[in-house]
Amino acid sequence: MDVDFSPEQRALRDEFRAYMRGIMTPDLREELAQPLATEGGGPLWRQAMRQMGSDGWIGLGWPREWGGRGYGPIEQYIFIEEVTRAGLPFPYLTTESIGPAIAEFASPAIRDALLPKILAGELVVAIGYSEPHAGTDMAALRTRAERDGDHYVINGQKVYTSLAHIADYVFLAVRTGDPETLPRHKGLSILLVPTSAEGFSFTPIYTVGDGETNATYYDNVRVPVENLIGEENRGWQVVTGQLNRERLTLMNPGTANLLYQQTVEHARNTRDGSGALLIETPRVQRLLASVYSQLRVLQLACRKQAWAIAQGTLDVADASAIKVYGYEAFLDCYRQMLEVLGPDGVLKRGSPGALLQGQLELIYRSVPVYGFAGGTNEIQRDLIAQFGLGLPRAKR
Ligand SMILES: Cc1cc2nc3c(=O)[nH]c(=O)nc-3n(C[C@H](O)[C@H](O)[C@H](O)COP(=O)(O)OP(=O)(O)OC[C@H]3O[C@@H](n4cnc5c(N)ncnc54)[C@H](O)[C@@H]3O)c2cc1C
C-alpha cells in the first residue's frame, strides 16, 4: 500500500509551496508580528487572502460550480498543510469545516451567494456555539431565536467566538425549540448571522498565545429565514458533522513541520559548550528523532482522514483519535524542540537573541487551545470509546 502522495500531488504541493514564498512578503510578516495580528485581519493579510483566492488555491479541492479548481479532498488537505506551513494565519475552519456544512445544508440562495466568496478569500465565518453556561454541554445553550414572519429574532450571549472581530458572519447555534416539549439537543438550529447586523456586538478576550477571541452579544438581531442552515430544530446534525471536520483540520501538522525543519537547521549550525555541533550529540538526535516520528504519524493519520473524506467515510472515532493524539503530540514535540534550542528558545519574538523569530516560544504558549477547541480531549475519549470501541455511551 502506498500511503504517500502521487507524483501529481507532490508536484502540486511543490508548486504551491513555491507560490506561498511569494505571498509571505516581508511586509506581510511584519504586519502579522504586530500585537494581536497573529490571527490575521490586517490589510495585507486580506490582500493575501484575495490573491490566493483569485489564483485558485483556496478552493483547490472544491467543485468548479462554486469557484473551486475541481480537485478532491486530498489536494484540499495539501493546500491546508502547506498554507499553515508557510506561516499564514489562515481561517481554515471557514473553508474546511463551515464551507462544507453550508454546501450540504444551506438554502440554494445562501449557498450560491457565500461559497464563491469563501473560496475567493473574501469571507470569514466565526463559530458561535459556546456560551458561559454551555461549553462541553452544548445542548444547554440558551441563546434563543424566535420566528417573526420571514425573519428570526435572536437574543443571547456567546463566549469564545474566535475570529468574530474579523469575521463577516457567525455560524450561530440557537435554541428554536420549546425546552418543555423537545429534548434539549433536538430544539437547536444553526443561523448564519452577519456581523454587520443591527444588535450584534462583541468584546475581546485576550489569550496567553498573543491572540484574541471574543464574547459576542445578540440583542434583537434579525436575520432572514433563508439564513437557517439545515432544518429548524435539527441543528445538532449540522454541528456534529462540522465538528468532525474541524477536528481533522485543527490537527494538521503544517506549522509543526516548518518549526521542526528550522530546529534541525539550528542544530546543524550551532555548537554546544564543548564545541560539538548540536546535531551530532546523542541527546539532540534522540529529541529530533522523537519529534520526527510523532509528526510523521500525525501526518499519515491526517492524510488517511483526507482520503476517508474523499471516500465519504469520515469516521467519528478516527476524527476524535486524531484530535487526542495530535494535541498530545504537539505539546510533546514543541517541548522537545524547545529543549534542542536551549534557554534562548523561550525568548519572545523581538527580544535580543530570540531564536526562530520567537515562533516556537509563541506556539508553545498557544498550543493548549488544541486541548479543548472542537471539544475537549476528555469528551473525545468518550467518543472513541463509544463509536470506536462500541462501549456504552458515557453518562452526561
Ligand atoms: C481560545 C479559545 C477559543 C475558542 N474558540 C471557540 C469558537 O470559536 N467557537 C466556540 O463555539 N467555542 C470556542 N471555544 C470554546 C471551547 O469549545 C470550549 O472551551 C470547550 O468546548 C469546553 O467548554 P468549557 O470551556 O465551558 O469547559 P467545560 O465544559 O466547563 O469543561 C471543563 C472541564 O470539564 C471536563 N468535562 C466537562 N464535561 C465532562 C464530561 N461529561 N465528562 C468528562 N469531562 C467533562 C472538560 O473536558 C474540561 O476539562 C474556544 C475556547 C477557547 C479557550
The CATH number assigned to the domain holding 279 equals 1.20.140.10
Q: Do 223 and 258 lie in a common domain?
A: no
Q: Do 257 and 364 lie in a common domain?
A: yes
- The phi, psi pair for 125, rounded to 5°, reads -120, 125
Residue 130: CB within 6 Å of ligand 1?
yes
Cα-only R_g, the chain:
22
Q: Do 344 and 229 lie in a common domain?
A: no
User: Using CA positions, which residue lies closest to atom 50 of ligand 1?
Assistant: 160
In a domain, 245, yes or no: no
Lowest model confidence (mean pLDDT) among 171-175, 247-251, 331-335, 367-371:
247-251
| Secondary element (H or E) of residue 173 | strand 169-175
With vertex at residue 94, the alpha carbon angle to CA 203 and CA 31, rounded to the nearest 5 degrees, is: 65
pLDDT at 1 over 60: no
- What is the Å distance from ligand 1's center to 374 Cα? 8
Mutate which of 39, 94, 160 for ligand 1? The one with the most ligand atoms within 8 Å of its CB, which is 160
- What is the Å distance from ligand 1's center to 134 Cα? 8
Instruction: Give percent above pLDDT 70 in the chain.
Output: 99
Residue 395: CB within 6 Å of ligand 1?
no
Q: Do 229 and 263 lie in a common domain?
A: no
In a domain, 244, yes or no: no
Summarize pLDDT for 149-174 with one digit per residue, the tens: 999 999 999 999 999 999 999 999 99
**What domain range includes position 359?**
251-388
In a domain, 115, yes or no: no
Q: Do 279 and 352 lie in a common domain?
A: yes
In a domain, 121, yes or no: no
User: Using CA positions, which residue lies closest to atom 23 of ligand 1?
Assistant: 135
Which atom from ligand 1 is nearest to the alpha carbon of 130?
11
Q: Do 216 and 266 lie in a common domain?
A: no
What SS3 state is found at 286? helix
In a domain, 393, yes or no: no
Compute the distance between CA of residue 186 and CA of residue 347 in angstroms, rounded to an integer: 49
Residue 385: CB within 6 Å of ligand 1?
no
Q: Do 227 and 258 lie in a common domain?
A: no
pLDDT at 310 over 60: yes
Summarize pLDDT for 321-336 with one digit per residue, the tens: 999 999 999 999 999 9
Boundary (domain end) residue, out of 233, 263, 290: 233
Minimal CA–CA distance to 166: which of 39, 251, 62?
Answer: 39
In a domain, 54, yes or no: yes
- The phi, psi pair for 170, rounded to 5°, reads -115, 130
In a domain, 296, yes or no: yes
pLDDT at 311 over 90: no
ipTM of the complex: 0.97
In a domain, 101, yes or no: no
User: From the candidates 246, 265, 280, 378, which is the catalytic residue?
Assistant: 246
Q: Are 303 and 330 in contact (CB under 8 A)?
A: no
Q: Do 150 and 226 lie in a common domain?
A: yes
Asked about 246 being catalytic, the answer comes back as yes
Neighbours of 56 (CB within 10 A): 15
Residue 173: CB within 6 Å of ligand 1?
no
Total domains, the chain: 3
Compute the average pLDDT of residues 289-308.
Answer: 92
pLDDT of residue 147: 96
| Secondary element (H or E) of residue 128 | strand 125-128
Compute the distance between CA of residue 70 and CA of residue 182 in angstroms, rounded to an integer: 41
Which atom from ligand 1 is nearest to the alpha carbon of 93?
8
CATH number at residue 146: 2.40.110.10
- What is the Å distance from ligand 1's center to 236 Cα? 17
Boundary (domain end) residue, out of 36, 70, 90: 90
Q: Do 255 and 384 lie in a common domain?
A: yes
- What is the Å distance from ligand 1's center to 373 Cα? 7
Boundary (domain end) residue, out of 90, 110, 145: 90
- What is the Å distance from ligand 1's center to 376 Cα? 6
Mean pLDDT of all residues in the chain?
A: 93
Residue 209: CB within 6 Å of ligand 1?
no
Q: Do 383 and 256 lie in a common domain?
A: yes
Q: Do 223 and 348 lie in a common domain?
A: no
With vertex at residue 119, the alpha carbon angle to CA 304 and CA 330, rounded to the nearest 5 degrees, is: 40
Residue 136: CB within 6 Å of ligand 1?
yes
Q: Do 223 and 259 lie in a common domain?
A: no
User: Using CA positions, which residue lies closest to atom 53 of ligand 1?
Assistant: 369
With vertex at residue 127, the alpha carbon angle to CA 298 and CA 251, rounded to the nearest 5 degrees, is: 5
Residue 101: CB within 6 Å of ligand 1?
no
Summarize pLDDT for 130-147 with one digit per residue, the tens: 999 999 999 899 999 999
- What is the Å distance from ligand 1's center to 314 Cα? 23
Compute the distance between CA of residue 97 and CA of residue 95 in angstroms, rounded to an integer: 6
